[in-house]
Structure 1
């Protein structure tokens, strides 16, 4: 027990680094010991199992406590989410023009993909009105969020006893999530072991330039574009907040590669930042649904790389339209493994690229997915907290209150 106590008092980030190093070493030295990878599977599955329940009850309890006429900053959060996603797609266009990439189009991938933006929006709406029980069971966060909002607004007239029970359930789930997160170093050990033992780094060598363009653009958004948005909101040096979000949220999301699984981590970070639980319990799940800057970057860069490979000339106005389409499409890619990749054929259709070739691009996306998806999720998830905090600090600044960070 004393050893466990000392272990828990070490910084979580430091423990994660230890797990990362051990996982990489074991993956390289013992690639056949596949049982080690079970740790990663168990960790991610545990987070995914509890996250839908946590989101449902937190949002439900938060809205049931909301008093009519009380001020909310949700409109500012949504504006930040949408602006951030569009500017990320625009940065991807500029980056692609400055550092054009080409692809090796050989094998054909067989995946089902949306036929157009109408299909994406239709799937989004169908997911939103699915059965609430099945939405929780299937981790359909769009449906979970919608029904939690509906039930939460309806329960504003409920008795205080009922609201207390909802609060107790939310606290219970939060405690369970914290216990799971404390096991993150072992989970990440398993995840890194699986990656290194299965793929190593050889498969990335042929696509090094493309990976650099993707990762470089995501870093540009995380370290330049997002801080500018935050500065304009809070009129204060944004980098302490930016680095805090990247460290506490982005690192975890990088390894779990799941915005949904990272929702509890973001909730805890918002609590540590002293944000209003009534607000972030709604904005964080919403961000995991519509704040998809990383996905917009992936769709845009891979589509323009395909056009460049085929010798298709793309002018800037058309690329700007691609940014808008990618932003809208990215908002519908959440909750699907490789969701952003499966939207590439839709974007390619803007340039007359056949679905056969487009699906080959999707296949390339899956090859580099270990790095691409990890960086994409880290950017998406960390900016959920960043923009949630920026919206609240903005309202505090306007009210003449201390922003508290």
Structure 2
């Protein structure tokens, strides 16, 4: 493979690992050079920051406008399981973040004075004012709450628009996703600069923080896969859920872990659904739909990293605000599909609940990118295996009810 093909078409996981390795070496042995290399990380984060608001706006509009509400398929129960599972995954992430709080070391010039909300009423008041923000200003100022509100509103009203109008938003969304893919190809270089400059300024303790965050993320996802999801399935099918759970993890989760793409794993899930003799009219819709909106792993990622940022900056989070964060994370996770590192790019949406500026939120995104070699694989495995798990649970429950 030529150097050009390796850079633009090579294995991104391997490239990020190489960037992380050399970033650590540079930060330890050549700190002066490492600090200068920080500009590479700053450029990478700036590119992500510029694209994220437009991406969220167009992705949500496109997703809502192209949803076919008239499709006569038995997906209501599966859709309910998707939404319930995603919310409970976010709630579980809140609990683990409280039990094992994570801190992140920001470089000295990035430290800000955060004014945390005093309670749920202040949070709701702040949300209301962000919702009614001018849409252009919301995009320019990275007001993700306003962006979500306008995108959802426009999406619902455009559902009755002509197909040509809908295709415009689909094409625009695809175009922005393509640009994001190009930016992501430079992640190894950006991560090299971020890690090198951070280690040069803060020392090796930063790596232990990254490891702690990663363990919380992966541990939460494993708990969701082996405890939360089985409880949901047991409630649905009224019998031992683990044979079904382990089948889905083995047949779907393992391949999704290595492909790191829910969309790429759709054929695997469709074949497994056929093998399990599920209702074709149901799974032919719910499996592709699940790759779009069923994002338990993304909800965990958004919640854990947001709370890590809030904890680092001294925000006092009460239970009601945490529940609101779970709802926002679950809704945001539904828009994380189709984009490499999509869940990471939606972290600023959740961070805005705690008045965390977009610049700081993007530093958290950088942390997520650094650990994404394992985080993204585990997240995708959870997301994709849950698609087939909940589809199977709904079909089995319906089959049992007809007997």
Shorter-chain TM range is 0.5 to 0.7
Structure 2 unmatched runs, 5+: 13-66, 111-138, 175-187, 193-203
> In 2 relative to 1, CA 301–33 (structure 1 residues): closer, same or farther, beyond 3 Å?
same
> In 2 relative to 1, CA 39–370 (structure 1 residues): closer, same or farther, beyond 3 Å?
closer
Matched, 1:91 2:92: yes
Q: What is the match of residue 16 of structure 1?
A: none
Q: 2:289 aligns with which of 268, 283, 286?
A: 286
In structure 2, distance between residues paired with 1:386 and 1:394: 12
In structure 2, distance between residues paired with 1:244 and 1:137: 37
After TM superposition, list the pairs within 5 Å mapping 1:12-91 onto structure 2: 72-91=73-92
Matched, 1:265 2:247: no
Q: What is the match of residue 105 of structure 2?
A: 104
> In 2 relative to 1, CA 114–85 (structure 1 residues): closer, same or farther, beyond 3 Å?
farther
In structure 1, distance between residues paired with 2:140 and 2:278: 41
The alignment covers a number of residue pairs equal to: 287
In structure 2, distance between residues paired with 1:241 and 1:394: 13
Asked whether the equivalents of residues 142 and 358 of structure 2 are also in contact (C-alpha less than 8 Å), the reply is: no
> In 2 relative to 1, CA 113–242 (structure 1 residues): closer, same or farther, beyond 3 Å?
farther
Q: 1:393 aligns with which of 381, 396, 400?
A: 396
Matched, 1:377 2:380: yes
Asked whether the equivalents of residues 117 and 329 of structure 1 are also in contact (C-alpha less than 8 Å), the reply is: no
Asked whether the equivalents of residues 291 and 331 of structure 1 are also in contact (C-alpha less than 8 Å), the reply is: yes
Q: 2:143 aligns with which of 115, 120, 139?
A: 115
> In 2 relative to 1, CA 323–240 (structure 1 residues): closer, same or farther, beyond 3 Å?
same
Q: What is the match of residue 350 of structure 1?
A: 353
SS of the equivalent of 2:342 reads coil
Q: What is the match of residue 253 of structure 1?
A: 256
> In 2 relative to 1, CA 345–231 (structure 1 residues): closer, same or farther, beyond 3 Å?
same
SS of the equivalent of 2:316 reads coil
Structure 1 residue 115: Cα displacement? 2.4
> In 2 relative to 1, CA 295–75 (structure 1 residues): closer, same or farther, beyond 3 Å?
same
> In 2 relative to 1, CA 136–352 (structure 1 residues): closer, same or farther, beyond 3 Å?
closer
Asked whether the equivalents of residues 114 and 343 of structure 1 are also in contact (C-alpha less than 8 Å), the reply is: no
Q: What is the match of residue 275 of structure 1?
A: 278
> In 2 relative to 1, CA 305–135 (structure 1 residues): closer, same or farther, beyond 3 Å?
same
Structure 1 residue 40: Cα displacement? 5.5
In structure 1, distance between residues paired with 2:280 and 2:142: 36
Asked whether the equivalents of residues 88 and 221 of structure 1 are also in contact (C-alpha less than 8 Å), the reply is: yes
Q: What value does the CA root-mean-square deviation take over the aligned residues?
A: 3.5
In structure 1, distance between residues paired with 2:74 and 2:103: 43
Q: TM-score, normalised by structure 1?
A: 0.63
Asked whether the equivalents of residues 120 and 332 of structure 1 are also in contact (C-alpha less than 8 Å), the reply is: no
SS of the equivalent of 1:340 reads helix
Q: 1:308 aligns with which of 307, 311, 315?
A: 311
SS of the equivalent of 2:346 reads helix
Runs of 4+ aligned structure 1 residues displaced above 2 Å come to 32-41, 111-118, 120-140, 202-206
Structure 1 residue 255: Cα displacement? 1.4
Structure 1 residue 113: Cα displacement? 9.5
Q: TM-score, normalised by structure 2?
A: 0.63
Matched, 1:238 2:238: no
In structure 1, distance between residues paired with 2:353 and 2:74: 36
> In 2 relative to 1, CA 252–105 (structure 1 residues): closer, same or farther, beyond 3 Å?
same
Structure 1 residue 73: Cα displacement? 3.1
SS of the equivalent of 1:73 reads coil
Q: Deviations over 1:241-291 (max 9, x none)?
A: 111111111111111111111111111111111112111011111111111
SS of the equivalent of 2:341 reads coil
- Tell me which moved more, 206-215 or 350-359: 350-359
Structure 1 unmatched runs, 5+: 1-29, 42-58, 67-71, 141-194, 401-405
Asked whether the equivalents of residues 221 and 297 of structure 2 are also in contact (C-alpha less than 8 Å), the reply is: yes
SS of the equivalent of 1:314 reads coil
Q: Deviations over 1:360-380 (max 9, x none)?
A: 111111111111111111111
